[in-house]
């Protein structure tokens, strides 16, 4: 109780300072926004209505995004006409409103791709991983061409796509859906069947420290702004998820940290260990990596994501989804969520979040596509490369020790621009500290749970969200 009192007192003072110093500017409000004014995921695309069975399943066109919705226990049917030469990825984004009542591993959706004979080519089941934290759930079901892939899924024909929501959801509202079919051109000379790059166990490069530049995140995949190597500051309302697009070449990897600012002087509290969540997605909107808590006692709440280097052969890795997902070059995405249960009781208005990104690795040549991969969404345009080069900030030091020192440099006092008013606001959030303990929901502790990406059963607490 003593620790909790310290947190409430300190954060109440911060809230009062925020209110007095600068009122936030107008924030766009969508129909699904929470009463606290949090920005909801903004679906963008052509309206479509999924069928109740496979007979009337409406077709999805390659490269086009569609918008639908799904109720608890409902299953929606769509179709896709695929050739016999190209890899295909059909993604689904389900977006409960910020603040919706959800339960870990009980609220989620499943997207499935079936071949013309009714056999399952692939399935993905993204689920909420933290109680009472409603954030967009995204992943894809795919079909590959070549050795190691499902033989019955290599032929041309009408494929079936289904999106199903769990029946025992605690949230009675319909969830907005965003669907997208992406087809990757074949490699010249046929499928390579090359072996995967292998497991990735090297120490990831540390994101840069230092001053930040303001960058407001997008409300979804469609409007995610481009960010390159550097430190970026954004303003969040509790419950919001902001999206950022990171250009990645063959051979490059992403290392990112999302953190709350703090001075590290108060080591008494352990209440904000899940304050910030982050996930990385590949250009086809497939889950590439979940964030993990990385701060030590007395450091600001921090979650980090480190991916494997991008390589075409990664798609043939059998054991690790985080390797398979790094199979493309192009715009990857970082989705950062501010946990409403941890933060909302203490702060009114917006909260500053720092996103530190490093894109590292020697670029290498990739496969030669028999078609325009960039136009299909797999690759970087010259404009992307120029923008990334303009945005990239210098990274002090190149050695591993210098990088390790940067990661311990915590932000002590940072000036932030008030939204809309342009007022500089100094926020010293010294009471926001972290113990690197993960809190597994009691409802699943010690019980077998399903991995939300692979669908396999495993034991122990769920991963950090």
Of 153, 184, 215, the one marking the end of a domain is 184
Domain assignment present for 442: no
**Number of structural domains, the chain?**
2
- pLDDT of amino acid 247: 97
Q: Determine the pLDDT at residue 396.
A: 58
Contacts of 96 (CB under 8 A, 6+ apart): 102, 107, 128, 134, 135, 136, 137, 171, 173, 175
Domain coverage including residue 307: 2-30+193-427
Domain assignment present for residue 63? The answer is yes
342 and 393 in a single domain? The answer is yes
Residues 6+ apart with CB under 8 A from 313: 192, 194, 195, 196, 197, 327
Cβ neighbours around 106 below 10 Å, total: 17
- Shared-domain flag, residues 157 and 199: no
Residue 364 lies in a domain: yes
Boundary residue ending a domain (184, 210, 245): 184
| Same-domain pairing of 140 and 117 | yes
Asked if 244 and 218 count as a contact pair (C-beta separation under 8 A), the reply is yes
pLDDT at 273: 65
Looking at residue 379, which CATH number applies to its domain? 2.60.120.380
23 with 61, same domain: the answer is no
pLDDT at 33: 36
Q: What was the pLDDT predicted at 192?
A: 52
Q: What is the pLDDT of residue 18?
A: 39
Q: Whose CA is closest to 273, among 446, 447, 133?
A: 133
- Output the pLDDT for position 409: 37
Which among 171, 153, 169, 150 has a CA at the least distance from the CA of 161?
Answer: 153
Whether 165 maps to a domain, the answer reads: yes
Residue 146 lies in a domain: yes
Q: Are 177 and 76 in contact (CB under 8 A)?
A: yes
Taking alpha carbons only, the member of 428, 432, 411, 397 closest to residue 210 is 411
pLDDT of res. 19: 38
Shared-domain flag, residues 179 and 261: no
pLDDT of 141 reads 97
| 186 closest CA partner among 329, 373, 324 | 373
Q: What is the pLDDT of residue 136?
A: 97
Residue 12's pLDDT is 38
* Same domain for 81 and 57: yes
Do residues 266 and 202 both lie within one domain? yes
And the tokens for 33? 């926004």
Measured distance between the N- and C-terminal CA atoms of the chain, rounded to whole angstroms: 26
Same domain (yes/no): 10, 145: no
Could you tell me the pTM of the whole model? 0.78
Pair 8, 116 in one domain? no
Q: Same domain, yes or no, for 264 and 377?
A: yes
Question: Do residues 208 and 127 both lie within one domain?
Answer: no
Position 41 in a domain: no
Asked if 254 and 108 sit in the same domain, the reply is no
Give a yes or no: residue 448 inside a domain.
Answer: no
Which residues of the chain are under the pLDDT cut of 50?
1-35, 193, 263-270, 398-464
CA distance 411 to 355: 12
Indicate the residue among 184, 211, 227 that finishes a domain. 184
With respect to residue 393, please indicate whether it lies within any of the assigned structural domains: yes
């Amino acid at each position: 109780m003593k620790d909790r009192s310290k947190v409430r007192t300190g954060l109440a003072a911060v809230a009062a300072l925020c209110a007095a110093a600068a009122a936030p500017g107008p924030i766009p409000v969508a129909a699904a926004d929470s009463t606290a004014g949090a920005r909801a995921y903004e679906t963008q695309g052509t309206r479509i209505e999924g069928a109740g069975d496979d007979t009337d399943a409406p077709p999805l066109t390659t490269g086009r995004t569609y918008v639908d919705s799904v109720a608890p226990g409902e299953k929606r049917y769509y179709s896709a006409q695929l050739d016999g030469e190209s890899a295909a990825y059909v993604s689904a984004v389900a977006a409960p409103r910020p603040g919706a009542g959800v339960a870990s591993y009980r609220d989620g959706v499943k997207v499935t791709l079936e071949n013309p004979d009714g056999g399952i080519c692939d399935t993905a089941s993204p689920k909420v991983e933290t109680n009472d934290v409603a954030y967009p759930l995204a992943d894809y079901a795919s079909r590959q061409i070549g050795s190691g892939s499902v033989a019955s899924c290599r032929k041309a024909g009408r494929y079936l796509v289904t999106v199903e929501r769990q029946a025992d959801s605690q949230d009675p509202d319909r969830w907005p859906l965003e669907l997208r079919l992406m087809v990757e051109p074949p490699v010249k000379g046929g499928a390579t069947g090359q072996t995967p790059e292998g497991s990735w166990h090297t120490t990831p490069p540390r994101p840069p420290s230092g001053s930040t530049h303001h960058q407001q995140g997008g409300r979804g995949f469609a409007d995610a702004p481009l960010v390159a190597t550097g430190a970026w500051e954004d303003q969040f309302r509790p419950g919001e998820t902001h999206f950022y697009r990171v250009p990645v070449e063959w051979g490059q990897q992403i290392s990112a940290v999302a953190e709350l600012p703090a001075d590290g002087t108060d080591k008494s509290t352990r209440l904000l260990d899940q304050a910030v969540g982050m996930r990385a997605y590949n250009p086809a909107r497939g889950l590439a990596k979940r964030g993990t808590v990385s701060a030590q006692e007395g450091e600001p709440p921090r979650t980090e994501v480190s991916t494997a280097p991008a390589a075409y052969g990664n798609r043939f890795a059998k054991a690790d989804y985080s390797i398979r997902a790094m199979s493309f070059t192009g715009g990857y995405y970082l989705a950062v969520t501010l946990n409403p249960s941890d933060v909302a009781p203490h702060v009114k208005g917006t909260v500053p979040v720092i996103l530190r990104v490093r894109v590292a690795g020697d670029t290498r040549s990739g496969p030669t596509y028999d078609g325009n991969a960039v136009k299909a969404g797999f690759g970087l345009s010259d404009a992307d490369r120029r923008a990334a080069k303009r945005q990239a900030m210098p990274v002090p030091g190149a050695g591993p020790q210098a990088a390790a020192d940067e990661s311990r440099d915590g932000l002590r006092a940072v000036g932030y621009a008030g939204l809309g008013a342009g007022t500089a606001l100094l926020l010293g959030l010294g009471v926001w500290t972290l113990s690197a303990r993960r809190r597994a929901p009691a409802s699943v502790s010690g019980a077998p749970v399903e991995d939300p990406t692979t669908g396999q059963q495993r034991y122990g607490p769920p991963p950090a969200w």
